[in-house]
Structure 1
């Protein structure tokens, strides 16, 4: 994922947490913050050490990034997203992660069209 598509600074994470809205299911919490005059969405990931070792945490982050890349055309480009993985995400395959994230996105009404 390109650097321009990532949220890295703590200040940006805190802004999304404080001003954004949260939506959740059992596996993920998604915070959404609308930002005007932004040409593409940005994504921040949070995976706790409680979910497993570094290999497992990085695998979960790869799955989330890949899902958002596949949904890129259906996502609103003026938003910042912070995704927090919960415990059940550690035992999920890529397709289960994708299905769960699409479910949360539908709850949040951030998908432009619900064809996927």
Structure 2
């Protein structure tokens, strides 16, 4: 299931101004502790990335990466993910590994338990 999303520019600005950011080849991720028990995610893909078809594909790949890895992520954060131009022709696995890499840098991944 997808986490809630950041809706308006005021919410995005709060994360940009107060949050911490890391970047890799395909994505930039801002993270800000929101003080609640749920995550909210915002995705931004600018016109620099490409035309609307390319931008929507990038958005879908990022959204799917977030959805499939949602259970691994700690709760209580606002997260903004920004696509870089190099994401244009990438496959899902490339985008997912970039997303997980940034989650590790932000220490957002929950610890794996040995049962």
TM-score by length of 1: 0.90
Q: Give me the whole-angstrom Cα distance separating, in 2, the residues matched to 1:29 and 1:56.
A: 18
1:29 and 2:20 are equivalent in the alignment: no
Deviation at 1:113, TM superposition (A): 3.1
Task: Identify unmatched segments of 5+ residues in structure 2.
Answer: none
The two structures, once aligned, show a CA RMSD in angstroms of 1.7
Q: Give me the whole-angstrom Cα distance separating, in 1, the residues matched to 2:75 and 2:52.
A: 30
SS at match of 1:49: coil
Please list, as runs of the form range in 1=range in 2, the aligned pairs for 1:71-82 lying within 5 A after superposition. Answer: 71-82=69-80
Q: Give me the whole-angstrom Cα distance separating, in 1, the residues matched to 2:102 and 2:34.
A: 20
TM-score by length of 2: 0.91
SS at match of 1:51: coil
For these two proteins, the number of residue pairs brought into alignment is 113
4+ residue runs over 4 A deviation: none
1:62 and 2:64 are equivalent in the alignment: no
Task: Identify unmatched segments of 5+ residues in structure 1.
Answer: none
Deviation at 1:85, TM superposition (A): 0.6
